[in-house]
Amino acid sequence: MQYRTLGRTGVQVSSLALGAMNFGSIGRTTQDEATAIVDAALEGGINLIDTADMYGRGESEEMVGKAIAGRRDDIVLATKANMPMSDEPNHQGSSRRWLVTALDNSLRRLGVDHVDLYQIHRWDPATSDEETLSALTDLQRAGKIRYFGSSTFPAYRIVEAQWAAREHRLSRYVTEQPSYSLLQRGIESHVLPVTEQYGLGVLVWSPLASGWLSGAVRAGREAATHRSAVLPERFDTALPANRARLDAVEKLAAVADEAGLTLIQLALGFVTAHPAVTAALVGPRTLNHLHSQLAAADTVLSDDVLDAVDAVVAPGTDLAAHEKFDATPALLDPALRRRRRPAAG
């Protein structure tokens, strides 16, 4: 396992990190299975565990807390807040009112008195950067969080938050958690140059593209991933975007075979090869999944292999941009990019 500095914090984290989204009802992973996965991850050299309050509405955090009991000091523990936790309109977002409550709830579920990294799960357009950063700075000063970061922020919002921290003399985001994989390379053109400019650590999610790069999605056979049952439209090859992904997967599998690698090794070796990336988050549902991912921990891709990847999916290209959740609002809502006509009268 390789270890890298998390941004400019001085904290050393493993190049593969354990994502706990599948713990509980989302991945149908029991507590015993989750604990076994955490045990094997730590034995394999992983030292960063990432979860979120909204995974199973707290279920994942509770399971992580039980799995790490008695060894908290050996783990860089990360969680996230911002997504809806109930039907109550104020039980979500990035306001001070909610973040103070959400963090206390997360600490209780995790069974700890602090987390190492507290992340804002999505940019909240209803809340100012000053409001959020001020709350996070106070929580940091209170000792409840060591550092804080963002997740799936558009590049311009990352910049705005850095400037807001400087302008208002507040602590700043020290990490960003974007989606990145062989099939989703858009962040190479905008997010990663910004994170490098500001010295942010980068923890990438979905490096196996929701199972497309696990080897379970191949031409001529039905997709055999958990996600294909939960989100069948993402794997329906009757859709043009999915046919393009399947074609790319077949070509990438050939690149992996030629290099003597599994597709998983190629996928994880690719994202961790980028100099801006600190760690790739893997989210196994089973021990077998984890072992196949740990096998990629020390994978180093040659320039020839990386060139072959570029020939399949061009740098900066997303094959499914609609699944990344980092589009600016005006790209999704036509009303935001059309000037209103004055009412006749």
Query: Are 130 and 59 a contacting pair, CB within 8 Å?
Result: no
On the CB side of 239, CA atoms within 13 Å amount to 10
| Per-residue three-class SS string for the chain | CCEEECCCCCCEEECEEEECCCEECCCCECHHHHHHHHHHHHHCCCCEEECCCCCCCCHHHHHHHHHCCCCHHHCEEEEEECCCCCCCCCCCCCCHHHHHHHHHHHHHHHCCCCEEEEEECCCCCCCCHHHHHHHHHHHHHCCCEEEEEEECCCHHHHHHHHHHHHHHCCCCCCEEECECCCCECHHHCCHHHHHHHHCCEEEEECCCHHHCCCCCCCCCCCCCCHHHHHCHHHHCCCCHHHHHHHHHHHHHHHHHHHHCCCHHHHHHHHHHHCCCCCEEEECCCCHHHHHHHHCCCCCCCCHHHHHHHHHHCCCCCECCHHHCCCCCHHHHCHHHHCCCCCCCC
On the CB side of 289, CA atoms within 13 Å amount to 24
Residue 232: which residues within 8 A CB-CB, separation 6 or more? none
Active-site hit among 55, 118, 173, 180: 55
Give me the sign of the Cα torsion angle 165, 167, 168, 170.
positive
Report phi then psi at 93, rounded to 5: 90, -170
Give yes or no: 180 in active site: no
Active site amino acids: 55
